[in-house]
Amino acid sequence: MIKRYSDHAANERTFLAWVRTAIAVMAFGFVIERFDLFLSIAAPRAALPQIAPHNQAFANAAGLAFIAIGVITIVIAAFRFVTTAKAIESDAASPSPGERFDIALSVLIGLLGVSLFLYMAHAVVLAP
């Protein structure tokens, strides 16, 4: 039996949860960035200028930002996984990794979500 197996298993479950979350964030970023392709296929050609916003640069930047956040999340989750695994094996007391990353990630994703909402609201209000 592995020494402190339940602690290692909990650490691995936490790491996998972070990876799943990062993959979801990256997939959402891909959808945001490529949504204009969906509109060009789904909308009739006559209605496309009315449906599609004039400038896709913001949506592309927001999509890339979500993808970058997902990649950064995986890197930080891997670092925290290794650090926590070493701390579990050590008999010395070690400080908690803290909540700063979690809060910063939540705030960043929230700000991107609000900016996307405002962007879409602006496109709907200005649509003829």
Question: Would you state the pLDDT for residue 118?
Answer: 82
> Is pLDDT at 12 greater than 80 in this prediction?
yes
Residue 78's domain comprises 5-44+54-126
In a domain, 11, yes or no: yes
Q: Is 89 inside a domain boundary?
A: yes
Question: What are the structure tokens assigned to 109, written together?
Answer: 């994703």
DSSP classification of residue 97 = -
Total number of domains constituting the chain = 1
pLDDT value of residue 23 = 95
Q: 54 or 40: which carries more pLDDT confidence?
A: 40
Euclidean distance between the first and final Cα of the chain, in Å?
68
Compute CA distances 108 → 95, 100, 111, whole Å. 25, 12, 5
Query: What percent of the chain has pLDDT above 70?
Result: 77
Residue 106 domain flag: yes
What pLDDT does residue 18 have? 92
Q: What is the arithmetic mean of pLDDT over 4-11?
A: 91
91 domain-assigned: yes
Residue 77 · residue 18 · CB < 8 Å: yes
For residue 49, is it within any domain?
Answer: no
Question: Distance between CA 81 and CA 14 in Å, rounded?
Answer: 8
**Is residue 98 helix, strand or coil?**
coil
